[in-house]
Chains A and B, each alone.
Chain A
Amino acid sequence: MRVELLVNGQERVVEMPPMVRLLDVLRGQLGLIGAKEGCGEGECGTCTVMLDGEPVNACLVAIGQCNGREIITVEGLAEGEHLTPLQQCMADHGGAQCGICTPGMLIAAEALLRRERSPSDEQIRAAVAGNICRCTGYQRIVISIQEAAAARREQSEGPR
């Protein structure tokens, strides 16, 4: 099957049997290794990417469902090496230890911050509840996301 995708702002076309997992296409053909496979069954969230703005588990999405849709992976967040406030906060406030959950966590957080300017602690925890982190105890992740929300508000309210 021929599938046309908008991946991190670029048009990409792949020829694939429709049931191949989006995760395999991203990590294979498209060479985007950011999303990881921690479980392969929708439980860990390390494979989280945005599909038309919604976070999904790429291990559970068939490529056949993706024709004409927009995908954003962790690689699509930064501009080159320039970290977004969310990435910077995650690095500065201890939100990433071993880093294996980080790409998925960042996508889940980015999706939240796009719809909530000032998420509460509870909203943040609910937004990343599908993303398992075994290292941090989550508190540093929650703090990172709160700091990122504050930085984004400052950016959008600041002088234009």
Chain B
Amino acid sequence: MDGAAKVLGTAQYVDDLSAKDGELHGATVRSAVARGRIRGIAFDEAFDWSGVTRVTAKDVPENIVQLIVDDQPVLADTVIHHVYEPIVLLACEDRAKLADACAAVTIDVEPLDAVLDIASSLAAKTVVSGEDNVQTRYLITKGAADSEDSETKIDEALAACEVVVTGEYSSHHQEQLYIETQGMLAWWDEAGVHVTGSLQCPYYVHKGFKRAFGLEGDAIHVTQAVTGGGFGGKEEYPTIIALHAALLAKKSGRHVRMIYDRTEDIQATTKRHPAACEISTGCDRDGRLRVLKMRAVFDAGAYVTLTPVVLSRGVLHAGGAYSWQDARIEGLSVTTNTPPNGAFRGFGAPQTIWAIERHLDRVARELGRDPAELKRQNLLVEGDTTATGQVLRGSVGGEECADKAFASSDYFAKRAAGPVIEGRKARGIGASLFMHGGGFTGSGERMLKGRVAVDLQAGGRLLIRSGSTDIGQGTETVFSQIAADAAGIDVSQVSFAVPSTTTVPDSGPTVASRTVMVVGAIVEQAAAAVAAQVRAAGRDDESWVDAADRLLAEHGELSVLKQYEPPSWVDWDETTYKGDAYPVYAWSCDIAEVEVDLDTFEVRVLQFWTAADVGKAINPVMCRGQLEGGALQAIGWALSEDIVWRDGHILNPRMTNYIVPTALDAPRFETILVECPYPHGPGGGAKGIGELPMDGGAPAVAAAIEHATGVSMDHLPLLPERLLLASMAGTTSQGAI
């Protein structure tokens, strides 16, 4: 079993695979300027290049990284768009010589003006992409804003409200910091190209190879090695490192392994998109929310990568878990000359949920209400419509989550009592409410057609073949459990095939909280179908094993392939952004209790409550582990994780100075599982929860800090020095200090 291999230390991650004869190490030579034109590449003639393989853009058959837009080259050829742009690849058997070889490459670049943040990109004084640096725009309108002239109409609706509140909120980059850095092993043989490594989505890499090398699908063999965490960071990026390793392998005729060290990994790979949001809302004096006007701008970085989809999820979650009668939500993404941002757990939603949650805290202040009570009053319930006009058909657990989290944390009593101040320490409590859509947005699942196969094997065993990967979130265990329950056999009788494009069907990527809910549902169907055949063929006195073996002997093989069909009622209009954005949502309430040092403004989260509507917890231990691990990433994002930039360079690309929480920083978690089953989910109604816990931690912590100190923060991260400055500037709400 996988669990045993991990605790025995025998699980093989890509860096652990035994070295092949003549294997080379690969390395990347990158740009050093944020934007510029490549005038030339010089390989120092004094250096002994023997035994060193060199690859440049000229060696790439089609120099494009296959994603949504064809804007990113595998290796930069003429123009540089960010500081860590790969330009030359080198491979050598001897690591020390490889490092010297990298130093013997000089890239001659004519620097160009660069755009490094959202504000200067929007200002478009320097244009670095398209006509105005803007990549993608979305507009969601509801009620009064459903008009040609949506902006005027929403402004009129706002003006008619009793209370109008306006604010700006921003959030920053975040590094996934999976503990296993990215790595790939590549080689070529008569069957084609092979890559094995750390990845979430084998078929993304497969598509990338079809495009860049112009190969037929059956000549590309992408296999996942045991993967040490991903969180989105190993969704699209592995295609690039796999292509790089394969280019070197092709040219050298050897096995080539590329393993990034921590610094290169932090510098070159994707991060969470920074976002800037402006919000105006209108409500009644009694707190009934009515009108939402919002604009969210996401920083894409140098290329488009997955930004349109991230932005889409961002705007679709921008209204939060609340009911709005009129809404206008505008989203745009802009190019900057920073490393491309990409997938990261939450996928755009944490950014907009940070904004709307903080904004409602501000509205509550304006109304003299408790923020959580105000939010609870306006929560979406079954039958309500979201900003896209989607009618919520059930499995809506928001209120139950809120009430359970409030009760468990004694939230209202603690709020009413005010901050607890002892010496220089102040303790406060804060809450956030939120939801997260499961599966691909809109018609995504319908187009994707995820597939899974379940094979009957000797001894009545089942083998699940799926392209969904286990990156630590427990796919293997949960799928095995789903299949065993569906077939009515013991879980020890089920195994999970190593995800390899050669042997497993494309289940769609391992992203978007879709693995259990969407792919798990077809695992369930396929396993049930195999079992039904065995049982139908079984004779009265025959055991499961005997019937299965006889059936196999008669037929040679028995395998069922199932394809995902979303619920028939899912109706989404991609052009108007109206309809069922997601078939169902997971709901949650987070509550943080913090202690703030009033001299240093250091913040400790003491206790963290989460009540989450997961539909159905198939494996409660893993479910809690997902919720707690996600919450701690959110807390890290809020309090300590900060990428420091200068001229497009990252100044802290190390674990010494990019600070993620340790066991001593982590709070005690009280995790409450709420189950409002989703009829189409597997195992009795499971919903996707992988990303949900990333959404609510930061606003809950900020609300708690505000309760403790009166300092109200609208911009992440909540570093001590920023809190101190804000308190000195008097951005306080209650004058507690």
Q: Check if B226 is an interface residue, CB within 8 A of chain A.
A: yes
Within the complex, what minimum Cβ distance (angstroms) separates B516 from chain A? Answer: 15
Is B227 a contact partner of A132 (Cβ separation < 8 A)?
Answer: no
C-alpha gap A83/B631 in the complex (Å)? 30
**Which of B176, B227, B632 is most buried by chain A, counting CB atoms within 10 A of its CB?**
B632
Contact present for A97 and B3 (CB under 8 Å) = no
Q: Does B13 contact A (CB under 8 A)?
A: yes
Pick from B394-402, B469-477, B583-591 the stretch touching chain A: B469-477
Bound complex: CA of A156 vs CA of B270, how far in Å? Answer: 50
- Of B3, B10, B231, B474, the most chain A CB neighbours within 10 A belong to B3
Q: How far is the CA of A73 from the CA of B629 in the complex (A)?
A: 26
- Which residues of chain B come closer than 8 Å to A103, judged between CB atoms? 9
Q: Which residues of A contact B628 (CB under 8 A)?
A: 136-137, 139-140
Which one, B6, B630, B666, contacts A139 given CB within 8 A?
A: B666
Contact A43 B9 (CB under 8 A): no
CB-based nearest A residue for B671: A139
State whether B666 touches A137 (Cβ < 8 A). yes
Bound CA span A114–B621, Å: 27
Q: Is the CB of A83 within 8 A of B7?
A: yes
- Nearest Cβ on chain B to A43's Cβ, whole angstroms: 4
Contact A98 B4 (CB under 8 A): no
B499 to chain A, nearest CB (A): 15
Residues of A contacting B178 in the complex (Cβ-Cβ under 8 angstroms)? 98, 100, 134
By the criterion CB–CB under 8 Å, are B6 and A33 in contact?
no
Known contacts A33-B12, A103-B9; is-contact A83 B4 (Cβ 8 Å): yes
Is the pair A126, B664 in contact by a Cβ cutoff of 8 Å? Answer: yes
A78 in contact (CB, < 8 A): yes
A102 to B4, CA, bound (A): 11
B599: interface (CB < 8 Å): no
Q: Give the shortest distance, in Å, between B586 (CB) and chain A (any CB).
A: 18
Indicate if the CB atoms of B654 and A41 lie closer than 8 Å: yes
Question: Of residues 111 to 128 in A, which have CB atoms within 8 Å of B's CB atoms?
Answer: 124-126, 128
Is B656 in contact with chain A by the CB < 8 A criterion? yes
* B699, CB-defined interface residue at 8 Å: no
Task: Check A101 for interface membership: any CB of B closer than 8 A.
Answer: yes
| Closest Cβ–Cβ distance, residue A61 to chain B (whole Å) | 18
Bound Cα distance A101, B177 (Å): 12
Contact B228 A137 (CB under 8 A): no
Say yes or no: B228 contacts A138, CB within 8 Å: no
**Cβ of B102 under 8 Å from chain A:** no
A39 contacts the other chain (CB 8 A)? yes
A74 partner residues in chain B, CB cutoff 8 A: 7-9
Identity of the chain A residue whose Cβ is nearest the Cβ of B636 in the assembled complex:
A134
Q: Which residue from B6, B625, B655, B666 sits with its C-beta under 8 Å from A102?
A: B6
Contact B624 A140 (CB under 8 A): yes
The residue from A130, A134, A136, A142 contacting B625, defined by CB atoms under 8 A apart: A136
Residues in A with CB closer than 8 Å to B473 are 97
- B668 sits at the interface (CB 8 A): yes
Asked if A96 is an interface residue, CB under 8 A from chain B, the answer is yes
Closest Cβ–Cβ distance, residue A105 to chain B (whole Å): 9
Assess the B669–A139 pair: CB atoms within 8 A: yes
> Counting CB contacts under 8 A, is B416 at the interface?
no
Contact at A138–B666, with CB atoms within 8 Å?
Answer: yes
Interface assignment of A131: CB less than 8 Å from any CB of chain B: yes
In angstroms, Cα B666 to Cα A82, docked, is 32
Q: By the criterion of a CB under 8 Å from any partner CB, how many residues of chain B are at the interface?
A: 51
User: How many A-B Cβ pairs are below 8 Å?
Assistant: 163
In the complex, how many residues of chain A place their beta carbon closer than 8 angstroms to a beta carbon of chain B? 55
A22 on the interface (CB 8 Å rule)?
no
Is there an interface contact between A98 and B227, defined as CB atoms closer than 8 Å? yes
A142 nearest in chain B by CB position: B663
Q: Are A75 and B8 in contact (CB under 8 A)?
A: yes
Q: Which residue of A lies closest to B19 (CB)?
A: A28
Of A35, A92, A97, most buried by chain B (CB within 10 Å of CB) is A97
Decide: A97 and B664 in contact? CB cutoff 8 A: no
Decide if B278 is an interface residue (CB 8 Å cutoff).
no
In the bound complex, residues from chain B placing their C-beta under 8 Å from that of A43 are: 654-656
Min CB gap A147→B, angstroms = 12
Cβ-defined contact, B621 with A44, below 8 A: no
Task: Give the residues in chain B near A81, CB-CB below 8 Å.
Answer: 4, 8
Contact with A along B7-23 (1 / 0, CB 8 A): 11111110110000000
A99 in contact (CB, < 8 A): yes
Residues B655 and A134 in contact, CB atoms below 8 Å apart: no
A residues less than 8 Å from B15 (CB atoms):
36-37
- Give Cα A43–Cα B666 distance, bound, in whole angstroms: 17
> Which chain B residue lies CB-closest to A108?
B663
A14 near B: Cβ within 8 Å? no
Give per-residue flags for B356-395: 1 if the beta carbon is below 8 A from chain A beta carbons, else 0: 0000000000000000000000000000000000000000
- Near A by CB (< 8 A), chain B positions 467-511 give 471-474
Give the CA-CA distance A37 to B228 in the complex, in Å.
12
From B230, which residue of chain A is reached at the shortest CB distance? Answer: A98
Q: Which chain A residue lies CB-closest to B662?
A: A129
Q: How far is the CB of A122 from chain B (nearest CB, A)?
A: 9
Decide: A39 and B654 in contact? CB cutoff 8 A: yes
Considering the complex, give the chain A residue whose CB is closest to the CB of B658. Answer: A43
CB 8 Å contact bits of A36-80 with B (1 = contact, 0 = none): 111111011010000000000000000000000000011101100
Which residues on B sit within 8 Å (CB–CB) of A126? Answer: 663-664
Instruction: Determine if B669 and A99 form an interchain contact, defined as CB atoms under 8 angstroms apart.
Output: no
Q: A36 touching B7 by the CB < 8 A rule?
A: no
Answer yes or no: B622 CB below 8 A from chain A CBs: yes
Docked complex Cα distance between A131 and B661 (Å): 10
Contact B472 A137 (CB under 8 A): no
Q: B4 — which chain A residues lie within 8 A by C-beta?
A: 81, 83, 87, 91
A134's partner among B16, B226, B633, B669 (CB-CB below 8 A) is B633
Chain B residue with Cβ nearest A28: B19
What residues of chain A lie closer than 8 Å to B633, measured between beta carbons?
134
In the complex, given contacts A97-B474, A134-B177, A138-B632, what are 19 additional A-B residue pairs having Cβ atoms less than 8 angstroms apart?
A: A35-B9, A74-B7, A81-B4, A81-B8, A88-B7, A91-B6, A91-B7, A99-B11, A103-B9, A129-B662, A129-B663, A132-B179, A134-B179, A135-B229, A137-B666, A138-B666, A139-B666, A139-B669, A141-B663
Using a CB–CB distance below 8 Å, which chain B residues touch chain A? Answer: 3-13, 15-16, 176-181, 226-231, 261-262, 471-474, 621-622, 624-625, 628-633, 654-656, 660, 662-664, 666, 668-669
Q: Which 4 A-B pairs have the closest CB atoms?
A: A98-B472, A34-B9, A100-B228, A99-B6
30 pairs across A/B with beta carbons < 8 Å? A33-B10, A33-B16, A36-B13, A38-B180, A40-B262, A41-B654, A41-B655, A43-B656, A74-B7, A74-B9, A75-B8, A83-B4, A94-B624, A98-B228, A99-B226, A99-B472, A100-B179, A102-B9, A106-B9, A124-B663, A132-B179, A132-B655, A132-B662, A134-B178, A134-B231, A134-B629, A135-B179, A135-B472, A137-B666, A140-B621
